[in-house]
Amino acid sequence: MSHRIVFLDRDTIAPPVKVRRPDFAHTWTEYPRTAADELAGRLEGASIVITNKVALREQVLAALPTLKLVAVAATGTDVVDVGWCRDHGVAVSNIRGYAVNTVPEHTFALIFALRRNLFAYREAVRRGRWQESGQFCFFDYPIRDLAGSRLGIVGKGVLGQRVAEIGRALGMRIMFAARKGSSGIGPVYTPWDEVLETSDVITLHSPLMPSTRNMIAMPEFRAMKRRPLLINTARGGLVDEADLAAALREGLIAGAGFDVLTAEPPVEGNPLPGLLDLPNFILTPHVAWASDEAMQTLADQLIDNIENFVSGQPSNLVT
Selecting among 3, 115, 162, 235, the annotated active-site residue is 235
Residues 106-130, buried b or exposed e (16+ Cβ, 10 A)?
A: bbbbbbebbbbbbbbbeebeeeeee
Selecting among 38, 165, 264, 293, the annotated active-site residue is 264
The number of C-alpha atoms within 13 Å of 1 and in the hemisphere containing its C-beta is 10
Ramachandran area for residue 129 (φ above 0: left; ψ -120 to 50: alpha; else beta): alpha
Q: How far apart are alpha carbons 176 and 308 in whole angstroms? A: 35
Selecting among 220, 286, 293, 307, the annotated active-site residue is 286
Q: How far apart are alpha carbons 144 and 228 in whole angstroms? A: 12
Sign of CA dihedral 201, 207, 208, 211: negative
C-alpha gyration radius of the chain = 22
Active site residue 286: yes
Contact indicator for 39, 46 with CB cutoff of 8 Å = no
Exposed (0-12), middle (13-18) or buried (19+): which is 315, by Cβ within 10 Å?
A: middle
Contact indicator for 298, 73 with CB cutoff of 8 Å = yes
Sign of CA dihedral 13, 16, 22, 27: positive
Q: How far apart are alpha carbons 175 and 114 in whole angstroms? A: 20
Active site residue 264: yes
Which of 5, 135, 25, 124 is closest to 73 using CA atoms?
5
Q: What value, to the nearest 5°, has the Cα angle with vertex 126 and ends 120 and 131?
A: 105
Pairing of strands 189-190, 201-204: unpaired
Pairing of strands 3-7, 48-51: parallel
- Would you please indicate which residues are annotated as catalytic (active-site) residues? 235, 264, 286
